[in-house]
Amino acid sequence: MSEPEISGIIASCLTPFDRDGRIDYEALHREIDYIVDACAPGAIAIAAGEESEYTMLSSEDRRELMRRGAEMATGRIPVILGISHPAAERAVELADYAKGVGADVAHLLLPIRLWGGDPDRDELLGYVEEIAAHSPLPVLVSHNRGPGGDPGIPALARIAELPNVSYVAETSGDITKISRLVEHIAERGTAKLFTTPESLLINLTLGGAGAAMPPPAAFVGSQVVRAFREGHMERAIEWQRILGLFPNRWARYGAPPVMKAAMRHLGIDLGRPLPPYAPVAKWDDVAIGQFLEEVGLKEVGEDSPPPQPGTLGPARLRTDLLRA
């Protein structure tokens, strides 16, 4: 099965909601335009990662989000649509639907057992193999400890060898694990290995493909990738230092509240996370805006003083390199 050449950044689209909790498709279109035009990633993932809040949607709303999101992005950038479901048969049905609405890749979360705990190796391999064998799209297998399973290195390496598994996204941030997975997956050419924002440059340096992240971190990540590919390691390091703090400084909220707050500071209002989950507190919202100003991603507001260097962002950040 043909697969798109995806490397660098996979931009994980956030799902915007209006005040009544309905998907705001006008805001989604603005977000996708920002991702495509400003972030220039290798691919866009819609209704895919858990930061998209797809588990909060009805089956009908989830499919509509997949369809309309793909319509907005298809022809501009490779499209990855989420098919995650604990039942393999339902995941295959979603893969068929994703293919029908224009997706290039199917995004599949490695599951936990419905009653809790990680599946054993054979259970996990059987689950992924069944879906990959019947999916009309190449599959990106996503590891996300918490909502999903956490297989060890041998199991992940074996999953990457399955036919039609073309990409693996690993989210532990464990440098030792990433190093070994690069050897077992990327260097053997069984699949492309993606990681998370804080390990992007390390993964690229070791030979991995890139990282997955929502906007506006995807913009920063794209700058890391560009500088790395051009051989400007000093500049790549300066951009990577930003990803070391953003969004992890506000990690207690999780990615959607922090990234939605940041996008609003950049002029794209994606609403708040769906209840019962709360947006960031007012003081953290202000701090996120100041952080974006300090690292040069947002212009200083007319009624706010310029932030002092090193107070929120990386100390002694070489902004001359960021402008290169």
pTM for the full model?
A: 0.95
DSSP for 153-183? HHHHHHHHTSTTEEEEE-----HHHHHHHII
Show the domains of the chain with their CATH numbers. Answer: 8-233 (3.20.20.70)
The percent of residues in the chain predicted with pLDDT above 70, rounded, is 98
Q: Among 176, 115, 109, which residue's Cα sits nearest to residue 145?
A: 109
Q: Is pLDDT of 281 > 60?
A: yes
pLDDT for the residue numbered 302: 55
Lowest-confidence region among 49-53, 181-185, 317-321: 317-321
How far is 243 from 105, CA to CA, in rounded Å? 26
Q: What is the pLDDT of residue 53?
A: 95
Q: Where is pLDDT greater, at 300 or 207?
A: 207
H helices of 109-152, in order, are 121-134
- Listed in order, strand segments (DSSP E) in 68-117 are 79-82, 105-109
* Structure tokens given for 188: 């053997």
CB 168 within 8 A of CB 162: no
SS3 call for 15: coil
More confident residue, 311 or 245: 245
